[in-house]
Structure formats: C-alpha cells, structure tokens
Amino acid sequence: MSRARILIDGDTLKLEEILQVARNEATVELAPEAAARVRASRALVDRVAAGDTPSYGINTGFGTLAEVRIDKKDLRDLQRNLILSHACGVGTPLPLPEARALLLLRCNVLAKGFSGIRPETLGLALDMLNRDVVPVVPERGSVGASGDLAPLAHLALVFIGEGEAFFQGQRMPARQALERAGLQPVVLEAKEGLALVNGTQAMCAVGTLLQLRAEALADIADVAGAMTLEGLLGSHKPFIPEIHDVRAHPGQKATAAHLRRILAGSELVETHVNCSKVQDPYSLRCMPQVHGAAREGMSFARRILEVEVNSATDNPLVFTETERIVSGGNFHGQPISLAMDVVAMALTQLSSISERRVEQLVNPSLSGLPAFLAKNSGLNSGFMIAQVTSAALVAESRVLSHPASVDSIPSSAGREDHVSMGMTAALKGRQVGEFARSCLAIEVLCAAQALDFRLPVKPGKGALAAYELVRSKVPHMDRDRELHKDIEAVSQLIDSGALLAAVKSATA
C-alpha cells in the first residue's frame, strides 16, 4: 500500500496527519518556503557564533550556567555534551507510534525557521521518519519545564549516532540503525543541540494520539449507551431536540443528535410506549449532558493542541527579520498540561457513567433481565465480575484524574522554579484512555447480551449494526466462559475503528 505524502511547513500540520505519520502511513517532505526560512535562521546563528558577543545557547552554558562563556573551539563539544547530559530518561520506551509522532513534531517546529538548525540536520530527521528509523525514547524524566528536555535529548542522541533506535521495528544501536537505512549521523554545530531539546513535543506526541483516541471513545460511549438503553427498554424522549435547544451546549447537542441517529428505526421503543415507568436513571437519561460535557473538554484540548503543534517552542528563538536571538519561555508546557488533565477527566466521566449503565444491566432489580445476564444464574455467574472489573478501572481512573497541571517541583538550581508536569499529564491521560476503552468494551458486551433477550424485536439501526458486528466476533453467552477474551475481542473492534465504522455506515 502506497503511503500518503505530507508537506511540513511548520504552520499547517493537522492532528489527523500526525496520526498518519504515527502509524507509518505517510511520508514527509519539507516545504520549499520552510527550507528557505531554515537557511536564513541558520545564517544568523552562524554570524552570531562567529562573533564575540555572548548569546545564550550559542556560546554560553545552559540553564543556571547561562552566564558561563564558552570558547569558539569548544562550541561543538558544548552541543554534544548538552545532548549526552540531558539524556536522563528512564522507564519503558514510548510506543513506536508516539515516538514517530515525537520526531514529526520536532521536525515541524524546526521547519518554522525560528530554531537556527542547519538544513542538513533537519534533513536527517525527515529521512529518519521516511526510512523508519525511530529513536528509543524512555517515557519518564520530563517535568515540562524547558519543555521535554530528557525525552527530546534521547531523540537527539540518534542524530549524533548515539543511543538506540528502532529500524523497521527492530531495536538496535542508533549508529547501526542509521547505517541500515543508508544514513549518516551529524556533528552538531552552534545552537543545534539546544534546538533539538527545547520544546513540548513529547507531551504533544502522547497528547495528540490520546486526543484522537478520546474523540473516538466519545462516539463509542454514545453507541454503548444507546445499546444499553435499548436493552433496558429505556425512553428515547430525553434526546429530543427541544430539550437540548434550551440548554445549547454544543457537546450536549451533538451527543443528543448522535443518539437520535443511533436509535432511529427502533422496534424496541414501540414495545413500551405505554409503560408505567416515568423516568430512566441518570446514566441513561443524562447521556447528552454527561457525554456532552466530556466532548466540551475534548474540544478545548483539541484547540490547544492544534495551536501547540504548529508553534515555535524553542529557546532562544531566532528572528531573522530583526536579526535578534531572544530567550523567552515558549517551551513551558502549561497549556498542554492543563489540556491533558481535562482529557483525562473527560474520559473518566465516560468510564464512570458507563460502569453505572453496566450495573443497570446486570442488576435484576433494576433491569428486569436475568441476574447478571446469565440464563441459569447461580450455576452461572454471567457478567457479575465484568461489572467489578469496570468498577476497578473507574476507581483507578479517578486517582489518575487528579490534575498534574497544578503541581510543580522546581529544578535547575531554582532557575526553572515553576514547571508544568505536562508529560505526566499526557502519560496518565493515556492510561485513562486505555481504561475507558476497556470500560466501554465491557458495556458493549453486556448490552449485546441484554439485546439477545429482547429478540426478535430489534433496536435502532445504529445499535443494531453495533450488535451484529459484536455477535460476528463474540457469540451469546449461554454458560460461563473466559470473559477476558470477549472483552479483548470487543476492545479490538473499538481500537480498529470497525465498531464505529459499522454504526456510521448504518446511520449515514
């Protein structure tokens, strides 16, 4: 399969394009206008490096050592030492998609022409992406102060032939990976090491993939909730447009409209139009309000990410028009940290209300269905422990939803006296996303079992499409079996996009 081509210009990269590159489904190329900006900013750095005036990061030390002047003969060693000393990451390496996204985002920032990188150094980074040389970057070690110093230093190690990299998915020494790809490491010149390690690209890489997953899970939450509503013979009336027009939050209106599409054509709703039940529980009735609030949080995070991935977050910044090289604080990760905390909280909301709907399904006093959705309950435990698993995941998600963005540990001898903890926020958000997917898979599985008991009467066309796809992979549970396998099967339908695609096709 041929890969798409994405032009990198530093200004117009889309989140969905980042996902394409993360999945190794696209190649990248530097836009001609970006190449011109890169050459111009490098020319200014070269002029400053050749002079005697102190300029931070070019001929001085770093951080608290900014006042230490470095001799011209030592400038190459200065940049190399920066990379080596800052490569202090620990823990599991970033998964390949996140590491690819990280490399892409660093390329995009350098392409803006405010970093002073040499064209050949940026060219190596682009070639690495296109030839599947992916740096090994440990997850832990960033406080989001001068951005993600440690992760970006591990990324930069590969540029100079140090550290480790994956080549076509195989882990090996970086120099060997470059050689297999037909590439050569570079010797960093003045400011280049600093240009490679300042910025928010690690938290943005993890955060962008989390954001896109969260948006998909918000749609899946509507699907799961609609299936549960039908299985419990719930009312469709709380989703009528009039209710949501008088409280016009966009996320709430979008969720209600989505639920109406999924539930359209329901036969089940006709079976209980005259029932005595006055109101459904909040976990059913308030899906537009709760799911909608989650969508609003995700919308905020998307706006932040769309700005950040196309922003200059280096330090110092090179302004060719005024011929100034100026230190600032664009590397501070606070916007991303707060946004990722919001995404984690939004996903925890979706998990929490999903677990309550599962309780409605498995509790016979609430559902009117067999206890724990088991035909011969007592002998069979049915979905009893599936609800317990969901509850466990929700409990841990709540702990992980404590915001990292309100925390700060000063570093660099007090020079970095307020830090963002942006990478922490992104990493724990990623874990909350994993839990949310599993919670929703459990609900879909339980709702499908409930719908089995309503046959031959059919649910709405979107819910029916989801039900039929699940049943093509997971049979009805007549007797107890290893439920973790069923949960995994439904999880794969969610992760692959197949479940959402089936619903969209049925409701188009």
CA distance 417 to 423: 17
Provide the 3-class DSSP secondary structure of residue 6: strand
Q: How far apart are the first and last CA of the chain?
A: 28
Tokens of 419: 């830090």
Cβ 177 vs Cβ 166: under 8 Å: yes
Cβ 140 vs Cβ 89: under 8 Å: yes
Q: What is the 3-state secondary structure (H, E, C) of 338-397?
A: HHHHHHHHHHHHHHHHHHHHHHHHHCHHHHCCCHHHCCCECCECCCHHHHHHHHHHHHHH
CA distance 506 to 292: 22
Provide the 3-class DSSP secondary structure of residue 325: strand
Query: Side by side, which strands form the sheet with 164-167?
Result: 133-135, 164-167, 170-173
To the query of whether residue 467 is one of the catalytic residues in this protein, the response is no
What's the alpha-carbon Rg for the chain, to the nearest Å?
Answer: 26
93 membership: H or E segment, kind and range: strand 90-93
- In the set 8, 15, 37, 56, the catalytic residue is 56
Catalytic residue positions, numbered:
56
